[in-house]
Amino acid sequence: MKNSRPSFIEIDLGALRNNISVVKSWAGEGTRIMAVVKADAYGHGAVKVSQVAESEGVDFLGVAFLEEACELQDAGIRAPIVILYPEDDDRSVEAARRGFHITVSEQAQLKRIGPGRDENGLPIKYFVKVESGMNRYGMHADDAIATVEEKGTRPGEELIGVTTNLADPLMGSAHLAARQVENFLQVMQTIKRLSQNGLFYSIDSSGSVWKNRHANGTLVRIGHLLYGLVPGGIDSRELKPVMSVKSRIAEIHNLRPGDGVGYGFSYVASRQSRVATVPMGYADGYPWSLSNKGYVIVRGNRAPVVGRVCMDAFMIDLTEIPASASGDEVIILGQNGREKIDAHKLGQWAGSFSYEILSGWGKRLPRIYK
């Protein structure tokens, strides 16, 4: 559609390429990289991001579910696609038939899904998920070791690697976090002795790669860093934000003292004011919890959010920006001059965090790639 909405998401693919290069340098020579593109690449657009990641030599692409993997395959992506979480038996068989790498967290599942493959089907390529202390997905150490011992005993199976998820990669809860790392590395020492075929082992995600500037495993799974953010809200000069969210002022109203704004009149003007409408709302992913909180950037200045966020619009106070006018650009996520709003800040205002902000933008917002 030629005349797209005035509210949109801008994706800087050059910044993405920069961030992939930075991550490779931090992970270290010989470490394989998995670009995590689940949840539509954290709202950035899984197909476009995967195309760039593939062109930049990323080794694997990580998705959450079978449907996400199919979307990439249907778009012509040829890099190995890993479904990061265990699926049920039928979906795991379908994933194997399509050539995807699956994740197994139950020893018995391999025995169940083997007969479900066609005789001429592709091999079941899989990662073993180890429960190391997060208590979400994964088999316990003894079962993981037994699964590795059994590899090759059933035709049509190919174990690619062993992985776990760190609950606290920045080591904020030092004792629990260190114990989880130790648990996994102990399992890996045993698995290395059992396996001589160069299995990947993966414990590192964005937080641990950022903190350590090296990998504890041979494969790192990177999401947040690719998109220009460090988990925990830390700034990095080396990384570049990939996403900006922008709109334009739809109209401006002159208020007298005592005039209300929006549903429920949750904001009442205490002075002569100029209040503008921005055509984006909670149906687009701008959180309702930002009602009367935070600000946007107009002409390089802060414009506070006033009144309740509506489904399709929210209002801002332009009183301190007298030169502002209808049609002016509104930066919701991004930077203009010295003023900057990143996903960490937006999440903090909303009582949430950056992951939810990035992945929560709605499909109604056009993605524009540059």
Cβ pair 124, 110 in contact under 8 A:
yes
Determine the length of the chain. 370
Give the separation between CA 253 and CA 239, rounded to whole angstroms: 40
Asked whether the beta carbons of 221 and 165 are under 8 A apart, the reply is: no
**Catalytic: which of 38, 48, 129, 246?**
38
Look up residue 39 and give its DSSP letter. Answer: H
The structure tokens 């692409």 sit at 61
CA distances 292 to 179, 245, 259, Å, are: 43, 19, 15
156 token code pair: 């049509």
Q: What is the dihedral of CA 359, 362, 363, 368, to 10 degrees?
A: -70
CA atoms of 355 and 347, how far apart (whole Å):
8
191 vs 197: CA distance, rounded Å: 11
Active site residue 293: no
- Cα(86)–Cα(103) distance, integer angstroms: 5
263 is catalytic: yes
- Both tokens of 289, joined, read 């919890």
Catalytic residue among 48, 125, 126, 263: 263
The set of catalytic residues is 38, 263
